[in-house]
Amino acid sequence: MKDIILFIAIVVSIGSVWQLIQLWIILRDLSHAVEKKATYLQQSPTNTIRFFKIHHLVRNYSILLEHERKMKQLEYELHHQIEAVLGKIQEAVCSIDQNNIIVHSNTAACNTFNKGEPIRGKRIEELIRNPEFLDIVHLAKNGMERFHREIAIPIADLQCWFEVSATPVSESSSHPYGSVIFVFHDITRLKELEIVKNNFVANVSHELKTPITIIKGFTETLIDEGDQIDEETRIKFLRKIESNSERLNLIVQDLLTLSRLESEPKFLKKSLTSIQELLDGISDTSTSLIKPDQSLKIINETDQLEVNMDGFKISQVIQNLIENSIQYAGDACDIEVKVSMNAMGDQLLCRVMDSGIGIPEEDIHNIFRRFYRVEKARSRLKGGTGLGLSIARGIVQLHGGEISAHNRPEGGLCVEFSLPI
Residue 394, Cβ density class (10 Å: 0-12 exposed, 13-18 middle, ≥19 buried): buried
pLDDT at 145 over 70: no
Rounded-to-5 percentages of helix, strand, coil across the chain:
50, 20, 30
Comparing 7-11, 29-33, 160-164, 392-396, the range with the smallest average pLDDT is 29-33
HSE of 407 in the Cβ direction (CA atoms, 13 Å)? 14
Chain segment 172-210, per-residue pLDDT in tens: 544 445 688 888 998 988 888 787 777 777 777 777 887
What is d(CA 360, CA 343) in angstroms, rounded to the nearest whole number? 30
Q: How far is CA 250 from the centre of its chain?
A: 34
Do the strands 306-309 and 295-300 form a parallel or antiparallel pair, or are they unpaired?
unpaired
What is d(CA 219, CA 159) in angstroms, rounded to the nearest whole number? 48
Q: Show the beta-strand stretches assigned E in 191-305.
A: 271-274, 295-300
Q: How far is CA 49 from the centre of its chain?
A: 69
Comparing 29-33, 243-247, 408-412, the range with the smallest average pLDDT is 29-33
What is d(CA 379, CA 371) in angstroms, rounded to the nearest whole number? 10
With a CB cutoff of 8 Å and minimum separation 6, the contacts of 366 are: 372
Chain segment 206-232, per-residue pLDDT in tens: 778 878 888 888 888 888 887 788 888
Q: How many CB atoms lie within 10 A of CB 253?
A: 13
Q: Is 371 helix (H, G, I), strand (E, B) or coil?
A: coil
